[in-house]
């Protein structure tokens, strides 16, 4: 009996130790997977945000299109964008975009800010003087809400204030009897602040 009890105790210790080691291994694997998942969720991931918007200000209103492509890590998104801006003086804004989302879910409020250059595409010809349009600063700030429609996709709605500067340069030749001719240059600077609302899709 003593030999049987000793054998049972030895087996229990052996298998108990094996069970403890196995449980420890399982816990370790689970922790490694959790860490791996956390690392995967905090990696920089590519996103494309494509929106259509409406710009309104003192000089009227205009339709807008934008595409922004960049990387997101956790709540922060950084990207480069280009769009159309036909308000008063048509052009193509090229800008850097930064967005900060609240929380880790796809559905979340967010703040955004853009800064870049408005490249003027407006053309004007006259018989009496030359007209040139100079590129200027462009910015857009606001906030919105993203509604999840998939693991990485969302529909985004936003509103904000957008600004662009356009300089209109006119020049013409002045002729005076008995004096050399010279060129007269006038510059008209337009600081255009507008309200903008946008809706788009992020994937």
154-176 pLDDT, tens digit each: 999 999 999 999 999 998 878 77
Residue 138 has pLDDT above 60, yes or no: yes
> In 42-95, which residue ranges form alpha helices assigned H by DSSP?
none
By DSSP bridging, strand 136-148 and strand 179-202 are unpaired
Give the pLDDT band of residue 103 (cuts 50, 70, 90). Answer: confident
Give the pLDDT band of residue 20 (cuts 50, 70, 90). Answer: very low
Calculate mean pLDDT across residues 90-96: 98
Strand partners of residue 146: 108, 156
Residue 91 structure tokens: 């052009």
Q: Do the beta carbons of residue 81 and residue 114 sit within 8 Å?
A: yes
Domains of the chain, by residue range, sit at 1-41, 43-202
Determine the pLDDT at residue 177. Answer: 81
The CATH architecture to which 43-202 belongs is Beta Barrel (2.40)
Calculate mean pLDDT across residues 23-33: 38
Task: Give tens-digit pLDDT for 45-85.
Answer: 999 999 999 999 999 999 999 999 999 998 999 999 999 99
> In the chain, which residue ranges form alpha helices assigned H by DSSP?
2-41
Determine the pLDDT at residue 41. Answer: 53
Q: Which is nearest to 86 in space by CA: 66, 64, 68, 67?
A: 64
Residue 66 has φ and ψ, to the nearest 5°, of -145, 150
pTM for the whole thing? Answer: 0.74
């Amino acid at each position: 009996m003593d030999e049987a009890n000793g054998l049972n105790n030895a087996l229990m210790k052996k298998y108990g130790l094996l069970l403890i080691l196995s449980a420890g291994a399982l816990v370790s694997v689970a922790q490694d997977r959790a860490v791996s998942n956390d690392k995967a969720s905090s990696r920089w991931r590519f996103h494309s945000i494509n929106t259509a918007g409406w710009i309104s200000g003192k000089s009227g209103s205009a339709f807008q299109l934008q595409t922004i492509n960049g990387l997101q890590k956790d709540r922060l998104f950084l990207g480069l964008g280009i769009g159309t801006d036909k308000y008063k003086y048509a052009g193509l804004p090229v800008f850097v975009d930064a967005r900060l989302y609240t929380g880790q879910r796809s559905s979340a409020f967010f703040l955004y800010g853009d800064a870049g250059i408005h490249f003027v595409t407006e053309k004007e010809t006259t018989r009496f003087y030359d007209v040139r349009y100079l590129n200027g600063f462009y910015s857009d700030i606001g906030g919105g809400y993203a509604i999840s429609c998939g693991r990485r996709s969302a529909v985004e709605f936003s509103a904000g204030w957008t600004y662009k500067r356009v300089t209109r340069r006119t020049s013409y030749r002045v002729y005076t009897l008995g004096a050399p001719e010279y060129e007269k240059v006038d510059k008209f600077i337009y600081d255009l602040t507008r309200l903008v609302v946008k809706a788009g899709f992020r994937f």
